[in-house]
Amino acid sequence: MSQRIKIKALLESEQTDINVIVKGWVRTFRNNQFIALNDGSTNSNLQVVVDFENTDPALLKRLTTGAAISVSGLLVTSLGKGQKVEVKAKQIEILGDSDPEKYPLQPKKHSLEFLREIAHLRFRTSTFGAIFRVRNSLAFAVHQFFQNRGFIYLHTPIITASDAEGAGETFHVTNFDLLNPPKTENGEIDFKEDFFGRPTNLTVSGQLEGELGAMALSDIYTFGPTFRAENSNTTRHLAEFWMIEPEMAFYDLNDNMDLAEELLKYVIKYALDKNAEDIQFLTQRLEDEEKQKPQQDRSEMLLIEKLQFCLDNDFERLTYTEAIDILKESTPNKKKKFQYPIEGWGTDLQSEHERYLVEKHFKKPVILTDYPKQIKAFYMRQNEVDANGRETVRAMDILFPGIGEIVGGSQREERLEKLEQRMDQMGIPKDELWWYLDTRRFGACPHAGFGLGFERLVQFVTGMGNIRDVIPFPRFPKNAEF
Ligand code: 4AD
Ligand code: MG
């Protein structure tokens, strides 16, 4: 190993007047003298000062934006503004040239749309460097949170034969020759001949298998990729996204909500502490962006304030039914400003309704519970029918400002009879889920869990408006580049 020091460590170093070796990519080179060098370890660039009078002009020419270089020199206190220390270069080696005529990243502000088209290079911008360092910290904090509490990290399968959410929006997995698949006598595709001997798909959720783990290990969590073939081109949906799904034996819905709220606060706090500089940068970025908007569309809080606010306040908890009453009486509903007016009880909330509750009415994160049975998955625990004959389930969704639904979860239906009844009603094949039902046959117990959409969390913490900008290589309809 060379004596290379990463720029983050160097900038934090107490020592000066020492020889150092740094390596990184040139962000800018100005006045034939000052290199702004970045190696991804931190948002800040290191200023490298070149003694241009004693440097080969041919080498100076190769110090272009994007070039990879190695510098050895003296770390000194900087006299210039903007940095405490800088490196006076003694020797510079070009490790990889970058033709400035062809390099797509210019030292100027590029649009996020443009950067999405060059996602292989966008890590090299300050914005994406910050986003992916924050994403990394959040992932680490998720593990730390659960590990500190004795949860077991369980790896649920990526390929499954079930559709946990019952939504049917799955990607098939097959190794058939699609032009010529084996057929049965009736002319149908013969999945018995397929790799797994049956139709399979990429998982939409690890929950059902997670429940099996919780029924022995007590507290488990998954943290892995999930796949949904929903054709939704929104700023909140991906076809491949990462989900954190804890599942806990002996938890009821209140325990479940407490855990989710604690988890969110823990990981946000972790990122605020660990990535202060990145979040400061992203806050500034967002503030600049907001200045382009008309006053009434600007958010009331800076990013960093919004995160702090979320830590300092209890999430508002109320039932779906209470939320509907609020929405019915709300000004936008009365003035017919909602695209989907709130008419009665029982329909799913649209994002405009969620946003109203979170951003206008409560002005803080909200947890909605006890949704109508009709709009939720089969595995949620059924409540007693209420006085008005309304059927609800022990569901909870956490809604965040600017994001909408960030967490979806429930207490699970542990009563075999009730569960089977519901599966019959919804046309979910019981024989295929025999293993799931077994947990209700042998030692069933109250249990609960939830799913946290990791990218939506990263969106919240980085303030990025589009989910495609918080995952390295987004997958969405008609796009699987890189
Ligand atoms: O609400 P969902 O569909 O719930 C489940 O999958 C349950 N099995 C979770 C559980 O109880 N274990 O998804 C959970 C979360 C959502 O709240 C949202 O944050 C995120 O996953 N999510 C998506 N994120 C990005 N792109 C998509 N297409 C998403 N669909 C859901
Ligand atoms: Mg949901």
Contact between residue 390 and residue 320 where contact means Cβ atoms under 8 Å apart: no
Question: Which residues lie at CB < 5 A from ion ligand 2?
Answer: 408
C-alpha span between 243 and 245 (Å, rounded)? 6
Is 203 close to ligand 1, i.e. is its CB under 6 Å away?
no
Is the pLDDT at 2 greater than 70? The verdict is no
**According to CATH, what is the number of the domain 126-169+204-469?**
3.30.930.10
Grouping H, G, I as helix, E, B as strand and the rest as coil, residue 318 is strand
Predicted TM-score of the model (pTM): 0.97
Is 459 close to ligand 1, i.e. is its CB under 6 Å away?
no
Is 165 close to ligand 1, i.e. is its CB under 6 Å away?
yes
All CATH 3.30.930.10 domain ranges of the chain, comma separated, are 126-169+204-469
pLDDT, position 232? 84
pLDDT, position 394? 98
By alpha-carbon position, which residue is closest to atom 26 of ligand 1? 237
**According to CATH, what is the number of the domain 7-104?**
2.40.50.140
By alpha-carbon position, which residue is closest to atom 30 of ligand 1? 237
Helix (H) or strand (E) holding 30: strand 18-30
Ligand nearest to the CA of 233: 1
Is the pLDDT at 1 greater than 60? The verdict is no
Residue whose CB lies within 8 A of the most ligand 1 atoms, among 456, 460, 464, for a mutation test: 456
Contact between residue 405 and residue 397 where contact means Cβ atoms under 8 Å apart: yes
The Cβ of residue 31 has, within 10 Å, a number of other Cβ atoms equal to 7
Provide φ and ψ at 47, rounded to 5°.
-85, 120
Ligand nearest to the CA of 378: 1
- Give the confidence band of 298 by pLDDT, cuts at 50, 70, 90: confident
Report how far ligand 1's centroid is from the alpha carbon of 232 (Å): 14
C-alpha span between 64 and 329 (Å, rounded)? 61
pLDDT tens digits along 248-263: 999 999 999 999 999 9
pLDDT, position 167? 67
Report how far ligand 1's centroid is from the alpha carbon of 54 (Å): 60
**What's the alpha-carbon Rg for the chain, to the nearest Å?**
27
pLDDT tens digits along 174-207: 999 999 999 999 999 999 999 999 999 999 999 9
All CATH 2.40.50.140 domain ranges of the chain, comma separated, are 7-104
C-alpha span between 303 and 464 (Å, rounded)? 10
The residue to which tokens 């009453």 are assigned: 325
Query: What letter represents residue 49's amino acid?
Result: V
Contact between residue 374 and residue 349 where contact means Cβ atoms under 8 Å apart: no
